[in-house]
Copies of this chain bind each other. A is one copy, B any other.
Amino acid sequence: MNCICSQRDLKDALIAASKALPTKPQTPILNGIYIVAKNNQLEIQATDFALGVIAKIPAEIEDEGTIVVNGKNITEIISKLAGDIVTISTEEGNSATFKSEAASFSLYTMDAEDFPKVSVQEFQHSLFIKNNVLRKLIARSTFATSNDDSRPVFQGCSVTIEGSTITFVATNTHRLVVVKAKIEDNIEGENKFIVPAKTLNDLMWIINSAREDNGVKIEFSDKHIAFTVNNIFVTCRLIDGQFPPHEKVIPASCETYANLDISEFRSAISRVEIISKQTEYNTVRLKFDSEGLELSSDSYETGKVIEHVNAAVEGPGVEIAFNLRYIQDFLKIAGGDEVRIGMNDKLSPADFRITGDDDFIYIVTPVRT
């Protein structure tokens, strides 16, 4: 192999591909990034079997070739190079040289034959979605998924595409989020599948660092999904299994509604957290009445906190308790000025929404106190 390419292009491609490097590789070859020089471009691949990334960048190629080098090392090296241009060459023996200005790195290569290349499926369906729309869907859903390995469906977001509406649903069984958005295409039938939250978070990173905003192409079939962001192709297996129906978790109506200024609420919650995080279930008690909202938390080790927040309360007063972290997660990603909380009683799930935003529903099960 003998070629030259832009340092910035190569750096961006390697950082994107690195997202697929496993933290605990099943075999040493998975530590590698696969680089093919051919047809005036470099194709860069990494995979952990579940997730695969392929990035393509333009290159001037004198000799074609294929190498696999340690992904972490090459990404750090190319990121720190000072010159605009990188020369890649292979000599005899198993090493590849990366040069830029006065720096020259020779890295040992691995056998490219051993590399499990990312398989590009035939996809039955495809659609385009705007970068910002997909970012919002991901930001508002993946945080609500579960880390529990024993129930894989909850480690993903259930995605439904029907007509020109796309819906993401995520839950860890204690809280549930439903986010909707419009797409420009009109998709036939109901398409429903579960995408791993990790893939979506990696994709988010790739969208955020995209230099051009050309939209994201989504392709899917029964078992696989792929996202294309400019020159970067991300693909993974869908999660097998049934996502439980979420509609009946959302309260049809609520007896009490409270409207709060979101930044006042966020600030009060950040203080109450100092005490609540020292309790067993990170519990915050909320007491809504005509006076507004009283937040409180009690730790037998530390002491207690009481905080008052202005709230316009409609309907009967209610006392309810939550895991404070679940409220904080919502407030972290909620835009807008006002939050509207719908409640029935201290044991029924509460319904958190942002006033004026019908595309985002957040349901939280109370903590029993």
Contact = CB atoms under 8 A, between A and B. Distances in A.
B302 A80 contact: no
Contacts of A106: 303-305
State which size class the interface on A falls in.
20 to 34
A305 B105 contact: yes
A181 interface: no
A47 to B, nearest CB: 21
A245 to B, nearest CB: 41
Interface string A50-79: 000000000000000000001001001100
Interface centre among A107, A267, A271 (most CB of B within 10 A): A271
A276 to B, nearest CB: 12
Copies of this chain present in the complex amount to 2
Contact of A268 (B102, B108, B270, B274): B102
Contact of A81 (B70, B81, B271, B306): B271
Given A70-B302, A77-B271, A80-B270, A307 B102 contact: yes
A303 to B, nearest CB: 4
Given A104-B307, A309-B102, A73 B267 contact: no
A192 interface: no
Contacts of A268: 102-103
A174 interface: no
A121 to B, nearest CB: 34
Contact of A108 (B76, B274, B303, B305): B303
Interface string A221-247: 000000000000000000000000000
A308 interface: yes
B80 A274 contact: yes
Interface string A79-114: 011100000000000010000001111111000000
A302 B70 CA distance: 8
Contacts of A15: none
Interface of A: 70, 73, 76-77, 80-82, 95, 102-108, 267-268, 270-271, 274-275, 301-309
20 contacts: A70-B302, A73-B274, A77-B271, A80-B271, A95-B303, A102-B308, A102-B309, A103-B268, A103-B271, A103-B306, A104-B307, A105-B271, A105-B274, A105-B275, A106-B303, A106-B304, A106-B305, A107-B303, A108-B302, A108-B303
